[in-house]
Amino acid sequence: MVTGAGGALGSELVARLTPPDAPSAGWASGGVVAVTRAELDVTDPVAVRDAVHGGLGSGDGPAVLLNASAFTAVDRAETDPEAAADAWAVNAEAPGLLAAACAEVGATMVHVSTDYVLGPLPGGARRPLEPDDPVGPEGVYARSKLAGEERVRAALPGAHQIVRTAWVYGPTGANFVRTIARLARERDTLTVVDDQHGSPTWAGDLADGLLALARSAAPPGTRHAAGGGATTWCGLARAVLEEMGADPSRVRPCDTASFPRPAPRPAWSVLSDASWRAAGLAPLPPWRDALHAAVVRHPDLLPD
């Protein structure tokens, strides 16, 4: 079962699981159920329990539930009380509801979390972050995602897989890659933050990794999975211009203080893949290779 099937990650999971002749939404075929937020309100306890218990329409629950539902409007969650409530409902309460329902039917839950839950390393150290590094969420979004992790662990202590990822972009909806490409066609120069470091992650690669994890015999736990290597937002923007055949020097660096946003962003969110490899799973491809492959497969990432 896939929840959040209409989002950037969910749509990539669905693309890998959908039979060619399946309906476009709400389908149940080939042993898989995929539901969008419109089809299943993951914040409704009764709806969640009914959906998970209904399983494949036969009255049996799923063996694995992949939860790709998330509220990701991080800035709006800081400035709009209604959005903050939605963030808490979707990111904190809903995972707990889904996990409780999975416990009732004996299902494993693969839950996607974020680098935002992690705090800075002691002494300002900079190395790839491990799952057992200190948490230190700042802002509504980050706190809600950490609460979601905690509720999944509590409800499914022996049958959960929590996967933290970072800087995800996909083939659907608004994302950093598409935004930079659009702005590059509208402006001579762009100014982009160059002091936040992370691991850009193509949603298709993450989907492949999550499915490999779901099919593995890995013990329950928390793991990190993101694109290999690291860059800054400025570095990613310059790579986008390279893919467009444009001059990357048109992207000019700035610091975070020069581009204030309502929600705090981690200055360092480079994720280690050691926990992923220790589970016998193949690391996600290097972020730069993944960007090129994504653009080749989805040219609409670089809109005209």
pLDDT digits (tens, 9 = 90+) for 260-273: 899 999 999 999 99
H/E stretch holding 86? helix 81-88
pTM of the model: 0.93
In this model, does residue 141 exceed pLDDT 50?
Answer: yes
Q: Is 169 a catalytic residue?
A: no
Q: Which two tokens stand for residue 166?
A: 């970072």
Q: Is 99 exposed, middle or buried (0-12, 13-18, 19+ CB in 10 A)?
A: buried
Domains of the chain: 2-174+199-229+269-286 (3.40.50.720)
Computed on alpha carbons and rounded to an integer, the radius of gyration of the chain in Å comes to: 19
pLDDT in tens, 171-220: 888 899 999 999 999 999 999 999 999 999 999 999 999 999 999 999 99
Contacts of 101 (CB under 8 A, 6+ apart): 48, 49, 51, 52, 53, 61, 107
Among 189, 178, 303, smallest CA distance to 251 is for 189
Helix axes 176-186, 233-244, angle to 10 degrees: 60
Distances in whole angstroms, Cα of residue 275 to Cα of each of 86, 221, 279, 304:
31, 9, 7, 40
3-state DSSP assignment of residue 91: helix
In this model, does residue 28 exceed pLDDT 60?
Answer: no
CA torsion, ordered 197, 198, 199, 200, to nearest 10 deg: -90
Among 262, 195, 264, 269, smallest CA distance to 233 is for 195
pLDDT in tens, 207-254: 999 999 999 999 999 999 999 999 999 999 999 999 999 999 999 999
Confidence grade of residue 30 (pLDDT, cut at 50, 70, 90): low
Catalytic-labelled residue, pool 88, 141, 169, 202: 141
Report the chain's mean pLDDT, rounded to a whole number.
Answer: 92
In this model, does residue 131 exceed pLDDT 60?
Answer: yes
Q: What is the pLDDT of residue 24?
A: 47
3-state DSSP assignment of residue 56: coil
